[in-house]
Amino acid sequence: MDKQEKTEITYEYTRRRKYFGKQTLFEDHGPEMLVSIPCNPALYKNYILRNPVNVAIQNTGTMSEHWVNSVRAEYTTSGINHVEGGWPKDINMNDPEACQRYRRKIEKDDAYIHAVMHLGHSMEHNILQNNAVDMYQTYYSELPSIPPVERSSCHTVNVYREPGTRRPIRSLSWQAEGARLASAHADIDFMRNNRSLQFSYIWDIENANAPELIIKPPQPLLDLQYNPRDQHILVGGMLNGQVGCWDMRKGGEPVGICPPHVAHRDLVRNVLFVHSKTGSEFISSSPDGVVKWWDIRSMNEPTDSMIIDLVKLPSETQSIDRALGISALEYESTIPTRFMVGTETGLVIGGNRKGKTPLEKLPTKYEAHLGPVYALQRNPTFLKNFLTVGDWTARVWSEDCRESSILWTYSHSTKLTDGAWNPIRFSLMLVTQWNGCLSCWDLLRRRSAPIVTAQLCDEPLLKVRPHEGGLLVACGSSKGTIYLAELSQNLGTADKNDKQLLTHILERENKRERILEARMRELRLKMRQDRDGNQLTPEADPAVNDRDLEEATTEYMQMVSELQAQQKSL
């Protein structure tokens, strides 16, 4: 019996073979000299000769096996039979009638009422405390979830490089339905003497290794735009002033080019499709100061033309000798007869194709920048407001305020080259800089500084064109490279309240500028009258306003004194 008990308390600890570690493989190895100490005859006298002694040496660690018999833990299982208490021994609690009779007997006792009243206060306190604190309650579960803090970002997702020679990008255009991007390359100073490099390209954004189609114009292209109605048709303006059209289904050769004698006198910087029933008409502009309308079905001559000459008198006629060079062109399809041009002298001029007289053809003028206007675009949602980029600032204008812009950026340390509105996030301005940065200005979030500034490259960025989806932005550099950047979700989508908020901002700034314009007109009128020696009219006399102000101040101070006297009397 004793032996059996000993076997029961024995427990064997086992270990799997895979936990032993790697198998030790021994092999023969020749002798190796670790250290050599030469003998010193001078020390012989310190040694005593002895017989050879055998000594056992163990080179490996000593291992031993141990057996441990721990103290045995004893466990006991016990239970509690919980039943309803408080009943006398002679009362069977399983009998409802006996319990009911005993309960009536106790309730008739006089001490029962006092005991209940005495215990009622403490019981009520415990009940209320128990109801007030719910140990199983999940706190703050009914509160609305707080949206995460916005993290605006902009990063490069793809890079498209021009095969061969690196020429500056002059134009970018997205296909209306599809994932293709058209780029026009031209080095103006170099191309005037060398006509060998004049290709432009159609890129598939999914393939950055090689362009999908090579556009082969007779002269280098400065602008290349897709037809919004037909995704296979493109029009472009060339270095020698001609305009042409291309059909992607027929290859890279042009399908139509205007004759040289009806073309522009200078290079064509801008071409844009205009609203028409056939969808085949487009407009072109040039530094020669002329805007021309064309029809791709017949490129023999322009359908209409207009000279950008600001005449001062209605009787004067527009002359091409006084025309202002055009550097930017803007057209909105919802306003078919109107267009806008940015000039090389910093002016933004609004034009009306249906005007009869020179003043009706060019009714508005805005002094926008100190140098050429590099970009000009209307807001996709608020058509009365448009963006201009020039010199070192980007400005937002309103058609109702002609003397000053309603919003503007600070003066950058580097030159700004291009700008555009985001088609989905209509409060977002995208501006490229000469130092290779792409700045994103959101008018709803912050107007003192850009919300995001991304350094896409080291060379200057010349063109920016956002995709109609709002998240992708194509930027072209001076070395012929296209950088496809992706904006974060909050920069490429619009909220339901954004339109209302931006409306309030633009209306407030518009009203402020109108008030300042009215004040400036009064000051100029006063200076003109003082210069001419005329007396001010009673309505324009500033002394009248001063007297009104003094009377209002006196009346106000009198009312304040009366209120103070009433408070003291109370």
Which tens digit of pLDDT belongs to each residue from 445-497? Answer: 888 889 999 999 889 999 999 998 888 999 999 988 999 999 988 888 888 88
Residue 191, pLDDT above cutoff 60: no
Residue 379, pLDDT above cutoff 60: yes
Residue 159, pLDDT above cutoff 70: yes
What is the residue-averaged pLDDT of the chain?
A: 83
C-alpha distances out from residue 17 to 20, 63, 163, 511, 552, Å: 5, 18, 62, 86, 102
Instruction: Please report the pLDDT score of residue 165 as a whole number.
Output: 80
For 240, phi then psi, to 5°, come to -90, 5
Instruction: Please report the pLDDT score of residue 82 as a whole number.
Output: 60
Residue 81 — pLDDT band, cuts 50, 70, 90?
Answer: low
Residue 194, pLDDT above cutoff 60: no
Within 425-525, strands assigned E span 428-433, 437-442, 452-455, 461-466, 472-477, 481-487
Instruction: Please report the pLDDT score of residue 225 as a whole number.
Output: 92
Residue 357 — pLDDT band, cuts 50, 70, 90?
Answer: confident
In whole angstroms, give the CA distance from residue 440 to residue 389.
14
CB 307 within 8 A of CB 292: no
Residue 518, pLDDT above cutoff 70: yes
Which tens digit of pLDDT belongs to each residue from 5-56? Answer: 444 667 676 777 667 667 677 788 888 888 888 888 888 878 777 777 777 7
Burial label for 445, CB within 10 Å (0-12, 13-18, 19+), is middle
Of residues 9 and 503, more confidence is placed in 503
Which tens digit of pLDDT belongs to each residue from 270-280? Answer: 999 998 888 88
Residue 570 — pLDDT band, cuts 50, 70, 90?
Answer: low
Which tens digit of pLDDT belongs to each residue from 391-434? Answer: 889 999 998 888 888 898 988 889 999 999 999 998 999 999 99
Q: Average of pLDDT values for 244-267?
A: 89
Amino acid identity of residue 257, one-letter, is I
Which pair of structure tokens corresponds to residue 70? 């721990």
Which tens digit of pLDDT belongs to each residue from 220-249? Answer: 889 999 998 888 899 999 988 899 999 988
Q: Average of pLDDT values for 298-305?
A: 89
